Amino acid sequence: MGSNQTWISEVILLGFQVDPELEVFLFGFFLLFYSLTLMGNGVILGLICLDSRLHTPMYFFLSNLAIIDISYASSTVPKMLANLIMQKKTISFGPCILQTFLYLAFAVTECMSLVVMSYDRYVAICHPLYYSVIMSWRVCTVLAATCWVFSFLLALVHISLILRLPFCGPQKINHFFCQIISVFKLACADIKLNQIVLFVGSVLVLVGPLGLVLLSYARILAAILRIQSGEGRRKAFSTCSAHLCVVGLFFGSAIVMYLAPKSSHSQEQRKILSLFYSLFNPMLNPLIYSLRNAEVKSALRRFLEKKRSL
CATH of the domain spanning 10-309: 1.20.1070.10
CA distance to 136, 145, 147, per residue, from 109 (Å): 21, 10, 6
Q: Are 279 and 33 in contact (CB under 8 A)?
A: yes
Q: Residue 3 has what pLDDT? A: 41
Measure CA 8 to chain center: 29
Per DSSP, 260 falls in state S
Q: Residue 171 has what pLDDT? A: 83
Q: Residue 86 has what pLDDT? A: 85
Q: Where are the domains of the chain?
A: 10-309
Q: Residue 169 has what pLDDT? A: 67
Peptide bond into 282 cis (omega under 30): no
Q: Residue 292 has what pLDDT? A: 63
Q: Residue 131 has what pLDDT? A: 92
- The sign of the dihedral angle between the CA atoms of 119, 122, 124, 130 is negative
Please give the model's pTM, rounded to 2 decimal places: 0.87
d(CA 115, CA 205): 10
- Does residue 92 sit in helix, strand or coil? strand
Max alpha carbon distance in the chain (Å)?
71
d(CA 109, CA 116): 11
- Does residue 141 sit in helix, strand or coil? helix
Average pLDDT per 10 consecutive residues for the chain, totaling 310 residues: 58 83 89 93 90 88 93 92 87 91 94 91 89 94 96 96 85 87 88 92 88 87 77 70 78 77 63 80 80 74 75
220 burial (CB, 10 Å; 0-12 / 13-18 / 19+) is: buried
- Does residue 91 sit in helix, strand or coil? strand
